[in-house]
Structure 1
Amino acid sequence: MRSIGESTTVDPEELHCAMFGVRFPARPAALSAAATINGAAVWVARALAALPERAYEGPNQVCMALCGRHAGLDPGL
């Protein structure tokens, strides 16, 4: 994986693993904290923390928000 500033791609499984145990709806701070606890790459936790501040209803909403924010992410998330 590369840092967000470069052409970034993420494995959908990696992103879902980063959100393991999250109770939805969840805000970016909770998503980022879960990613850190789950041992995700630092850039994944930072990307989740940088999402627009709102409650996300589930992993698919999070993935869609990341895809829209970071065009290099796999749109199949």
Structure 2
Amino acid sequence: MQKQSISSETENLGQGQGKQQRRCKECDVLVEDKLYREHCKSGWHKHNYTRHKNGLPPLSQEECLVEMELADSKRDLKDYDF
């Protein structure tokens, strides 16, 4: 998972700085306008989208990475379970 350029929700929307940002409601972050499509294709966004549909709060990028690695480890153990 690539690190994405994100901002906390308390920052302004980049007005006057030449950088416009969009808020991702599933991940609860601001993403630069140019990177928004890329963000929506990321595993982090997809994971939070699923959580959002199930009424769960979003995970930070780091929390999501840990959760995805844990799920991969469990899947690997299941594959080699006798």
The TM-score normalised by the length of structure 1 is 0.36
Q: Report the structure number with the largest CA radius of gyration.
A: 2
Structure with greater strand share of residues: 2
The TM-score normalised by the length of structure 2 is 0.35
